[in-house]
């Protein structure tokens, strides 16, 4: 049977990929070897940029109802509180979500599966990709179904959302370059009785231990990091399970206080790796999410990055499949997203190495300078904006390889327009939007682009802003003359995108 896109892997990345492609009516199949969605809470930190994507898709309320807004963060050194950050003081007015949000990955996947069903796509469970090859015209894949039978599937494109052990990556023979950290993580989703407020993210550092507390709606996640050379070199944890009393003992040492952990739902031990491929695309095959890059859990970035990878790729693939854009546009998936993965790996590696250093001098420096540095960064708006902008993924912008105009590649910010409406109230449905600021009405030659006229004296300059489905600016100009519209259309032509999408 032929399908336009075969998505392999129904974790958060694959579910998002399917849901976005279906919004463009692309014919897809989504297979997953697992019996059901993950029961492990895994990614609990959802960043502002992901919430903005969920808002665009009309599903953000389901997240907000089920999860917990982190009100702020505290850093403790040797048990003493040294730095406090209130997310309310972050001062980012260009997003409705100036905070970190906590919800278990199981709940996130449930919401995405429901959304997928609404767009008429079901995950084919217990169905495994065994092999595939590709030629200039198509991909031919062998899949094994739940009844044990083999099926040959042909597809225009195949997308590897099959996680860190990706079969697609192995078949493509792409090395997963990087290394493993020596430290071991033990964590539990549990009830915590102690003298501190369970609504906060808290980090505890002392020379020998690291402990972190994350707030969840009805419980907490506690995590400790230690060096353990006896730990097997694997991410599989079942063969070397952790116990709640073990993590309680480590957590007490890290926090320097009396702590009681009880009624745990998930206790696990794992090793962390930092790895990335050199190519996100090989002809008709793409790698997305953990299949392409994995990093330390510092900053809660993994799942969020996979969701944004999917948002970057889906509309480009849809345009090409519908023959509305040249195939070259698909190369920009790699040129835009690979640098993001590289930067993230460097950042998380640097922070993780500082935090887990075993070097005595470095530990001394960390203990002395970390609180000063953190206070300095959070004191001024610029420092806060830099830190929050990076972690929340709001500051990600692409080099304008696709279309070139000042401001192109940046994320469209949110702000109030007219009648109490905000930009993000208008920016909906994973499609192109054209904002026309100023008095001159636009003559609507662009079909399938939602056009918003915002004729108001409140805007200092007139202008046009064309926003891509993933929320990044494709083109912007400060006037709305006929010439600027012709310029925009030229840019689209140069990019190989037909205007009548």
Ligand X SMILES: Cc1cc2nc3c(=O)[nH]c(=O)nc-3n(C[C@H](O)[C@H](O)[C@H](O)COP(=O)(O)OP(=O)(O)OC[C@H]3O[C@@H](n4cnc5c(N)ncnc54)[C@H](O)[C@@H]3O)c2cc1C
Which residue do the tokens 């996979």 mark? 306
Q: Does the protein bind ligand X through residue 128 (CB under 6 A)?
A: yes
* Given 70, 72, 163, 400, the residue binding ligand X (CB under 6 A): 163
Q: Does the protein bind ligand X through residue 300 (CB under 6 A)?
A: yes
Q: Does the protein bind ligand X through residue 301 (CB under 6 A)?
A: yes
The CB-of-368 to ligand X minimum distance in angstroms stands at 29
Identity of the residue, 168 or 205, whose beta carbon is nearer to ligand X in the bound complex: 168
Reference 318, options 307, 331, 327; nearest CA is 327
Residues within window 256-285 making contact with ligand X, judged by CB under 6 A? 270
* Given 6, 7, 26, 44, the residue binding ligand X (CB under 6 A): 44
- DSSP H or E run through 5: strand 2-8
The CB-of-124 to ligand X minimum distance in angstroms stands at 9
* Given 22, 23, 29, 42, the residue binding ligand X (CB under 6 A): 42
Q: Does the protein bind ligand X through residue 45 (CB under 6 A)?
A: yes
Identity of the residue, 85 or 222, whose beta carbon is nearer to ligand X in the bound complex: 222
Round to whole Å and give the CA distance between 383 and 401.
29
The CB-of-84 to ligand X minimum distance in angstroms stands at 21
Residue 338: count of CB within 10 angstroms of its CB: 19
Identity of the residue, 302 or 469, whose beta carbon is nearer to ligand X in the bound complex: 302
* Given 5, 6, 12, 188, the residue binding ligand X (CB under 6 A): 12
Round to whole Å and give the CA distance between 211 and 222.
7
* Given 189, 290, 336, 470, the residue binding ligand X (CB under 6 A): 290
- Region of 29-37, 191-199, 248-256, 361-369 interacting with ligand X (CB under 6 A): 29-37
Distance (Å) of CA 284 to CA 9, 35, 154, 281, 334: 17, 28, 12, 7, 13
Query: What binding mask, one character per residue, do residues 306-325 give for ligand X by CB under 6 A, x or -?
Result: x-------------------
Burial class (CB in 10 A: 0-12, 13-18, 19+), 71: middle
- Region of 242-250, 293-301, 381-389, 409-417 interacting with ligand X (CB under 6 A): 293-301
Alpha helices (runs of H) in 331-481, residue ranges in sequence order? 331-355, 360-379, 381-391, 423-426
Q: Does the protein bind ligand X through residue 304 (CB under 6 A)?
A: yes
CA 492 to chain centre: 27
Round to whole Å and give the CA distance between 60 and 43.
17
CA angle 146, 148, 149 (to 5 degrees): 105
Q: How many residues are given for the chain?
A: 501
Q: Is the Cβ–Cβ distance between 189 and 221 less than 8 Å?
A: yes
Identity of the residue, 18 or 463, whose beta carbon is nearer to ligand X in the bound complex: 18
Query: What binding mask, one character per residue, do residues 93-122 give for ligand X by CB under 6 A, x or -?
Result: ------------x-----------------
The CB-of-312 to ligand X minimum distance in angstroms stands at 14
Q: Does the protein bind ligand X through residue 161 (CB under 6 A)?
A: yes
* Count of chain residues binding ligand X (CB under 6 A): 33
Query: Which phi and psi angles does 350 have, rounded to 5°?
Result: -60, -50
Round to whole Å and give the CA distance between 134 and 199.
50
Identity of the residue, 204 or 475, whose beta carbon is nearer to ligand X in the bound complex: 204
425 backbone φψ class: left, alpha, beta (φ>0; ψ -120 to 50): alpha
Helix, strand, coil shares of the chain, percent, nearest 5, are 30, 30, 40
Q: Is the Cβ–Cβ distance between 345 and 293 less than 8 Å?
A: yes
The CB-of-171 to ligand X minimum distance in angstroms stands at 10
- Region of 78-86, 134-142, 190-198, 295-303 interacting with ligand X (CB under 6 A): 295-303
- Region of 19-27, 43-51, 114-122, 462-470 interacting with ligand X (CB under 6 A): 43-51
Q: Does the protein bind ligand X through residue 153 (CB under 6 A)?
A: no
Residues 6+ apart with CB under 8 A from 435: 423, 426, 452, 454, 464, 465, 466, 467
Which residue do the tokens 């835009």 mark? 336
Round to whole Å and give the CA distance between 263 and 369.
37
Q: Does the protein bind ligand X through residue 215 (CB under 6 A)?
A: no
Which residue do the tokens 């905000």 mark? 422
Round to whole Å and give the CA distance between 128 and 62.
30
Identity of the residue, 132 or 435, whose beta carbon is nearer to ligand X in the bound complex: 132
Residue 195: count of CB within 10 angstroms of its CB: 8
The CB-of-47 to ligand X minimum distance in angstroms stands at 7
Q: Does the protein bind ligand X through residue 289 (CB under 6 A)?
A: yes
- Region of 85-93, 302-310, 335-343, 449-457 interacting with ligand X (CB under 6 A): 302-310
Q: Which two tokens stand for residue 280?
A: 């996100």
Query: What binding mask, one character per residue, do residues 355-384 give for ligand X by CB under 6 A, x or -?
Result: ------------------------------
Q: Does the protein bind ligand X through residue 303 (CB under 6 A)?
A: yes
Q: Does the protein bind ligand X through residue 392 (CB under 6 A)?
A: no
Q: Does the protein bind ligand X through residue 33 (CB under 6 A)?
A: yes
- DSSP H or E run through 170: helix 167-171
Give the nearest residue (CB) to ligand X: 11
Q: By the criterion CB under 6 A, which residues form the site for ligand X?
A: 8-14, 31-34, 42-45, 105, 128-129, 161-163, 167, 187, 270, 289-290, 297, 300-304, 306
């Amino acid at each position: 049977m032929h399908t336009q896109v075969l998505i392999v892997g129904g974790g958060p990345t694959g579910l998002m990929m399917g849901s976005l492609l279906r919004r463009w009516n692309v014919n897809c199949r989504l297979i997953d070897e697992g019996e059901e969605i993950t029961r492990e809470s895994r990614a609990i930190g959802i960043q502002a940029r992901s919430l903005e994507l969920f808002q665009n898709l009309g599903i953000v309320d389901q997240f907000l109802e089920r999860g917990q807004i982190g009100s702020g963060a505290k850093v403790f050194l040797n048990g003493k509180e040294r730095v406090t950050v209130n997310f309310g003081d972050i001062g980012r007015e260009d997003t409705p979500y100036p905070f970190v949000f906590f919800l278990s990955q199981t709940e996130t996947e449930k919401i995405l599966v429901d959304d997928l069903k609404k767009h008429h796509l079901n995950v084919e469970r217990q169905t495994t990709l065994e092999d595939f090859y590709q030629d200039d015209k198509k991909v031919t894949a062998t899949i094994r179904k739940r009844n044990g039978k083999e099926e040959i599937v042909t597809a225009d494109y195949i997308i590897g959302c099959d996680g860190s052990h990706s079969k697609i990556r192995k078949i493509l023979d792409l090395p997963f370059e990087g290394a493993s950290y020596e430290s071991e993580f033990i964590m539990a989703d549990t009830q915590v009785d102690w003298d501190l407020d369970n609504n906060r993210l808290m980090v505890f550092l002392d020379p020998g231990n690291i402990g972190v507390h994350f707030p969840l709606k009805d419980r907490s996640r506690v995590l400790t990091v230690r060096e353990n050379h006896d730990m097997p070199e694997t991410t599989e944890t079942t063969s070397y399970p952790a116990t709640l009393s073990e993590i309680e003992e480590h957590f007490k040492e890290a926090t320097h206080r009396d702590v009681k952990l009880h009624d745990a739902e998930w206790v696990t031990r794992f090793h962390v790796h930092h790895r990335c491929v050199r190519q996100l695309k090989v002809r008709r095959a793409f790698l997305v999410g953990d299949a392409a890059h994995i990093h330390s859990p510092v900053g809660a970035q993994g799942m969020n990055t996979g969701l944004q990878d999917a948002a970057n790729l889906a509309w480009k693939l849809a345009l090409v499949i519908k023959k509305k854009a040249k195939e070259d546009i698909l190369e920009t998936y790699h040129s835009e997203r690979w640098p993001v993965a590289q930067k993230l790996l460097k950042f998380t590696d640097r922070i993780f190495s500082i935090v887990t250093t075993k070097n005595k001098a470095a530990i001394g420096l960390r203990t002395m300078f970390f609180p000063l540095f953190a206070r300095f960064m959070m004191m001024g708006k610029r420092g806060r904006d830099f830190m929050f902008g990076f972690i929340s993924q709001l500051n990600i912008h692409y080099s304008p390889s696709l279309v070139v105009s000042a401001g192109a590649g940046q994320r469209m910010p949110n702000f109030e327009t007219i009648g109490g409406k905000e930009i993000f109230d208008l920016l909906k449905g994973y499609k192109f939007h054209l904002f026309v600021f100023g008095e001159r009405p636009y003559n609507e030659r662009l079909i399938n682009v939602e056009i918003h006229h915002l004729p108001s004296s409140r805007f200092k300059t007139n202008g046009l802003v064309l926003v891509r489905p993933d929320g990044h600016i494709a083109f912007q100009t400060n006037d709305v003359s006929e010439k600027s519209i012709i310029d925009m259309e030229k840019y689209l032509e140069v990019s190989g995108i037909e205007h009548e999408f």
